[in-house]
Structure 1
């Protein structure tokens, strides 16, 4: 686990980084991933007050919203790191959105997806490459991560 300005960056996860939008993916099987937002993303958003997750069975293209979130200072889409189908949603996060802030890599996960093209996972950043890219964002935004 890398730690930059108090921001946790698990090196065993895969990251989709588009501008300041940072999403993680955890490979759970040959064609299944768990998806959520990073510690950096939850810090930039502030206290999350509403989470809307796409319904089970929906097919989502890479980069298109898998969820939308609202906080006191931000509202917007959470992009899907790969193309696939939502096979499970985290209903606890919809009931208690602050879980995203409290435990972004654990209880704050958003969806489980069946990946359409496993090659897309290889296009995501992981390990030291992910840490370097996240560090650029953290330093560029002068962030200090904190959990609620």
Structure 2
């Protein structure tokens, strides 16, 4: 785990980084991933007050929303890191959205997806490359992470 300006960046995850939108994916099997937002994303959003997750069985393309979130200062989509089908949703996050802020890499996960094209996983940022890219975002946005 790398910590940059109080932001946790687990090195064992895959990252979808599109501008300020940062999503993590954890590979659970050859074709299944768990998806959530990064510590950096939850800090930039502020206290999350609403999470709407797409229904189980929904097919999504890479970059299209798997969920939408609202906080006091932000509302927007959470993009899918790869194309695939939502096979499970975290209902706890819809009931208690602040879980995303408190535990973004654990209980704050959003969806489990069946990956349509495993080649897309190779396009995500990993390891030192991911850490470097996220550190650059932290510096550019002058972010210091905090959990609620």
Tell me the TM-score range normalised by the shorter chain.
over 0.9
Partner of 1:129: 129
1:82 is paired with a residue of what secondary structure?
Answer: coil
In 2: Cα distance, 1:35 partner to 1:97 partner: 15
Give the Å deviation of 1:122.
Answer: 0.7
The gaps in structure 2 that reach 5 residues or longer are: none
Q: Which runs of 4+ in 1 moved over 6 A?
A: none
Give the Å deviation of 1:99.
Answer: 0.1
Partner of 1:34: 34
In 1: Cα distance, 2:136 partner to 2:20 partner: 10
In 2: Cα distance, 1:58 partner to 1:143 partner: 34
Give the Å deviation of 1:24.
Answer: 0.1
Partner of 2:144: 144
2:69 is paired with a residue of what secondary structure?
Answer: strand
In 2: Cα distance, 1:2 partner to 1:122 partner: 21
Normalising by structure 1, report the TM-score: 1.00
In 1: Cα distance, 2:62 partner to 2:142 partner: 29
In 1: Cα distance, 2:10 partner to 2:46 partner: 20
Partner of 1:63: 63
The gaps in structure 1 that reach 5 residues or longer are: none
In 2: Cα distance, 1:14 partner to 1:40 partner: 15
Q: CA RMSD in A?
A: 0.3
Normalising by structure 2, report the TM-score: 1.00
Partner of 1:45: 45
In 1: Cα distance, 2:23 partner to 2:145 partner: 15
